[in-house]
Chains A and B, each alone.
Chain A
Amino acid sequence: MALAAPNAFAQEQLAFSTNSYGIPGLLDMPTGESFPDAELVTTFSAFSSFSRNTLAFQFSPRLMGAFRYSRLGDFFPDNSALFDRSFDFSAQVLREGQYQPSVVIGFQDILGTGIYQSEYIAATKTFGNDIRITGGLGWGRLGSYNSIGSPFGDRPEIDVGLGGRVNYQQWFRGPVAPFAGVAWRTTDKLTLKAEYSSDAYVQEASNGSFDRNSPYNVGFDYELARGVTASGSYMYGNAIGLQLAFTANPLNPTFPSGQEEAPSPVRPRPTPLEDPESWDPAWAEDPQTVASLKRVIGDALEKQGIILDAITLEPAVARLRIRNNRYRAEAQAIGRTTRILTRALPATVRTIQITSVAEGGIPTAALTFDRADVEQFEFADPQALLNAAQITDAKAVPRPEALPFTSRRFRWSLGPSFAVSLFDPDQPVRAKLGLRLAAEVELSRGVVFAGAIDKTIVGNLDEIERESDSTLPRVRSDIAEYERQGDPSIEYLTGAWYSRPAKDFFSRVTVGYFESMFGGVSGEILWKPIDSRLALGVELNYAMQRDFDQRFGFQDYSVVTGHASAYYEMDNGYNMRLHVGRYLAGDDGATLALGRRFANGWEVGAYVTQTNVTFEEFGEGSFDKGIRITIPFDWITGQPSRNRAQATLRSLSRDGGARLIVDGRLYDRVRDSDAQALENNWGRFWR
């Protein structure tokens, strides 16, 4: 790490602890530290009548973002609590050097009501190995106690009426106050902390919810287990604080991967002297030999969780299409297929061409290998074979002969379903557990029928009592009615046709009940050259609102909705998506999503949607925004799997900026086996 930094002494200063806001800090104050790259930290913190629950993500080595859901007890005159969502971000502007401290500039609660709004510059320096001293300057909330002046002018009031905006007019304005503190890591597990806080808790004092008796806070962190830290504190001479922090890092899997069965090794071709028969191209003219070769290859692949979709065997070339049902990394499925082929194919076959078929029967990338390269590079640096292989669009290579369809094209499952509703002030967390029966059948290549029935077992989602006060068409806010009346429900029931109209183009048409609230017709075209970082798509839907009972009926409301989309993959897994178009309530606008996708399948991202619905019309939250996290199962268990757990943290479902949910959107299906995905996971080719 030190070698890569411009200054030989400069290094990342990894946080000793998280503060009550769940970001690198002491007790209530931030520090100049950062989390390790890619660290995902979930913190539950409480003192007095305040609780703060924060999800923080170190988006890059220097940038961090956090989302927080807080409860401020006794906030209102009737002693009821204020529930507040807040977003933070911070940047490490200096790394620690021999004499130079690590410095972070941070922005807390940048949107909306700004109850926690503050900006700060914090510097932290390590002394010895285990003592760190922090000093900083805070504005806003962090400038409210013992201010030393207002260097950049007065701080304007936040215009809450408009809400939901980035309140940049306030940044670094108004009184500024110093804060300071020290952390001492006494052992690997125990850290002691003390600080002088510049937060006067002005609003809490005026509404009588908190008496701040002292600016000093003291506390400790104790690591209970790997990734779990408990903290205790004595806050502001008044309250005991408790905190639990859970850390996970996509770069540190729970289990080492690669516990699946070892692959078959490459079998090099015999010399013509050793096996003259194998070098006689006449085998290709004997239909019986060819058929039995295809069967042997198909059976061997099936044992690896790979379905042979199509195959052509010629004297010098073997062309295959495969469907990978087992390995998250397509490169691993292709690697195993290649090795099986070296064991089965007669020696005359010099070229091996394997095309991936994505879910839904969509052929994506074709890899072409020289068999001699596979033999030569089996034990070499994996890059050697990648450099020698060609990656092209499936449409740019001859299509192999399709094999007859079998019962393997029918899949069904019976399992638990889980749904959560968050951030309703009446009941911040609601959930339901259900039983879901799902089935899918591919009738012919690319034609897929799918359906699912869901029955609630236990839950309180149907207890949502907030009547929709929306002045927009109620495309999402009638969730309570759907939950009350739709049990059991037909969650979705669709027929879809996936196709490749031309090289670089993918298409989809879906008809049926897409999701619990809408059904209709959906069409999509995607332009995605297989080795391109950029993809462009257009989707057009005619959507009708479903009956609350989620059976076969529709309500009166219908809408033409759709988006033009651009997708761009940057280096190191950073990616961007922009959707511009019309949403379900007939509002026009755009959704921008930024994310980081790890080669191991983890994905962390955030999105915002702005449409021509005013914030007043939108209602609480002002506009739709959220955080998405995807965790691949193989990361958790170490066993091969294509399944993944996905969670979206978002505001209450409102009607503005609501996008139709339809399964099988093309980009997500194609990108698992595009050139970049293959290259990023190429190390797994030989696994």
Chain B
Amino acid sequence: MKRLSLSTLALSALAACGNDNTLTEFGQIAGEFQGLVVRSDDAGELPPFDAFATQLDLLVDGPLLVGFIPERQALAALVPFGENAGHISWSTEEKQSLVFRRGVLTSTRGLGDDLMSSEVSGTINALAAGGSSGHTRTYRYLDGNGATETIRMSCTLTSIASPDPSARAFQESCAEGTKKATNTYFVDRGGNIVSSVEYISATVGTIALINLSD
């Protein structure tokens, strides 16, 4: 049942993001997904998110990450395939990859309009401190001409109500000019990020993640 509660965390985070005006489309899709979950529950079945995770758990012995990109209605499982200097790379079967530092997403590959790299020390420190009234987070992309575009955002991290007493919830709000990014993290008692909803890029939107590693 631990897994079910974790997926509920991610879904409530989806809904939280859906209330953000800048992500209305994301909210609609997330809302539909949540509706689907509720209907499945009524029928006495596991919601698809969990069914998926359960199936995977039977197949995979070891660390596992489940990611859902509402903008694309794409759901995938990821396994770790590399570690360098505190960054852990995870990959889907189709060789799309996500890289995390201390559980915070730093880059993606194979999604198109990928997040090329990030500076997330500010976020990591803010999570450890339980909040921040001001830190920076740097996102790097390739622009239409293929040049590196660096966006240095000013962020705050605040504690929000958590739907699960076993995890604390934080919302990170970042902005630079008209560009905005909102990230939500669920942190367990050990300080590990067990679930999150993180911004990737303008085209990809946001990804909801659940770490199923025990």
Q: Does A79 contact B (CB under 8 A)?
A: no
Pick the contact of B114: A376, A378, A379, A687 (CB < 8 A).
A687
Chain A, 396-434, contact with B by CB distance < 8 Å: what is the 0/1 string?
A: 000000000000000000000000000000000000000
What separation, in Å, do the CA atoms of A375 and B94 have in the docked complex?
Answer: 25
- Contact in complex: B85, A252 (CB < 8 Å): no
Chain A neighbourhood of B89, CB < 8 A = 265
The 22 sampled A-B contact pairs (Cβ below 8 Å) are: A252-B144, A256-B112, A256-B203, A258-B113, A258-B114, A260-B110, A262-B97, A264-B81, A264-B82, A265-B81, A265-B82, A265-B83, A268-B84, A376-B85, A379-B117, A382-B117, A598-B145, A682-B148, A683-B116, A683-B147, A683-B148, A687-B142
| A267 touching B84 in the complex, CB below 8 Å, given contacts A259-B112, A381-B148, A600-B146 | yes
What separation, in Å, do the CA atoms of A683 and B147 have in the docked complex?
Answer: 6
Q: Closest Cβ of chain B: how far from A5's Cβ, in Å? A: 16
- Contact in complex: A262, B96 (CB < 8 Å): yes
Range of interface residues on chain A? Answer: 35 or more
What 6 pairs across the A-B complex have the smallest Cβ distances? A265-B82, A256-B113, A262-B109, A262-B97, A261-B95, A256-B112
Chain B neighbourhood of A261, CB < 8 A = 94-96, 110
Chain A, 361-383, contact with B by CB distance < 8 Å: what is the 0/1 string?
A: 00000000000000110111111
Chain B, 72-100, contact with A by CB distance < 8 Å: what is the 0/1 string?
A: 00000000011111010101001111010
Q: Does B61 contact A (CB under 8 A)?
A: no
Q: Does A568 contact B (CB under 8 A)?
A: no
- Contact in complex: A686, B84 (CB < 8 Å): no
Chain A residues numbered 239-281 whose CB sits less than 8 Å from any CB in chain B: 249-253, 255-268
- Contact in complex: A599, B145 (CB < 8 Å): yes
Q: Does A72 contact B (CB under 8 A)?
A: no
Q: Does B102 contact A (CB under 8 A)?
A: no
Q: Does A676 contact B (CB under 8 A)?
A: no
Known contacts A253-B144, A262-B96; 4 additional CB pairs below 8 A are A259-B111, A268-B84, A379-B107, A599-B146
- Contact in complex: B112, A258 (CB < 8 Å): yes
Q: Does B183 contact A (CB under 8 A)?
A: no
Q: Does B214 contact A (CB under 8 A)?
A: no
Chain B neighbourhood of A686, CB < 8 A = 116-117
Best-buried of B96, B110, B201 by chain A (most CB within 10 Å) = B110
- Contact in complex: B117, A263 (CB < 8 Å): no
- Contact in complex: A379, B99 (CB < 8 Å): yes
Q: Does A684 contact B (CB under 8 A)?
A: yes
Q: Closest Cβ of chain A: how far from B173's Cβ, in Å? A: 24
Q: Does B42 contact A (CB under 8 A)?
A: no
- Contact in complex: B148, A382 (CB < 8 Å): yes
- Contact in complex: B95, A262 (CB < 8 Å): yes
Range of interface residues on chain B? Answer: 35 or more
| A687 touching B109 in the complex, CB below 8 Å, given contacts A262-B91, A267-B84, A379-B85 | yes
What separation, in Å, do the CA atoms of A257 and B201 have in the docked complex?
Answer: 13
Question: Which residue from chain B places its CB closest to the CB of A639 in the assembled complex?
Answer: B112
Chain B neighbourhood of A383, CB < 8 A = 148
Chain A neighbourhood of B146, CB < 8 A = 257, 329, 598-600, 680-681, 683-684
The DSSP consensus for interface residues of chain B is: strand
Question: Which residue from chain A places its CB closest to the CB of B94 in the assembled complex?
Answer: A261
Best-buried of B91, B99, B109, B143 by chain A (most CB within 10 Å) = B109
- Contact in complex: A258, B142 (CB < 8 Å): yes
Q: Closest Cβ of chain A: how far from B146's Cβ, in Å? A: 5
- Contact in complex: B84, A263 (CB < 8 Å): no
Q: Does B150 contact A (CB under 8 A)?
A: yes
Chain A neighbourhood of B180, CB < 8 A = none
- Contact in complex: A599, B109 (CB < 8 Å): no
- Contact in complex: B145, A687 (CB < 8 Å): no
Q: Closest Cβ of chain B: how far from A304's Cβ, in Å? A: 11
What separation, in Å, do the CA atoms of A496 and B157 have in the docked complex?
Answer: 64
What separation, in Å, do the CA atoms of A255 and B96 have in the docked complex?
Answer: 17
What separation, in Å, do the CA atoms of A253 and B146 have in the docked complex?
Answer: 10
| A262 touching B82 in the complex, CB below 8 Å, given contacts A378-B87, A379-B99, A382-B116 | no
What separation, in Å, do the CA atoms of A117 and B201 have in the docked complex?
Answer: 48
What separation, in Å, do the CA atoms of A245 and B88 have in the docked complex?
Answer: 48
Q: Closest Cβ of chain B: how far from A338's Cβ, in Å? A: 13
Question: Which residue from chain B places its CB closest to the CB of A686 in the assembled complex?
Answer: B116
Q: Does B140 contact A (CB under 8 A)?
A: yes
Chain A, 579-612, contact with B by CB distance < 8 Å: what is the 0/1 string?
A: 0000000000000000000111000000000000
Q: Does B184 contact A (CB under 8 A)?
A: no
- Contact in complex: A638, B144 (CB < 8 Å): no
Q: Does B106 contact A (CB under 8 A)?
A: yes
Chain B neighbourhood of A257, CB < 8 A = 112-113, 142, 146
- Contact in complex: A375, B85 (CB < 8 Å): yes
| A378 touching B147 in the complex, CB below 8 Å, given contacts A256-B112, A684-B142, A686-B117 | no
- Contact in complex: B110, A262 (CB < 8 Å): yes
Q: Closest Cβ of chain A: how far from B121's Cβ, in Å? A: 12
Chain B neighbourhood of A682, CB < 8 A = 148
- Contact in complex: B142, A265 (CB < 8 Å): no
Chain B neighbourhood of A376, CB < 8 A = 85
| A378 touching B109 in the complex, CB below 8 Å, given contacts A257-B146, A600-B144, A683-B148 | no
Chain B neighbourhood of A599, CB < 8 A = 145-147
Question: Which residue from chain A places its CB closest to the CB of B109 in the assembled complex?
Answer: A262
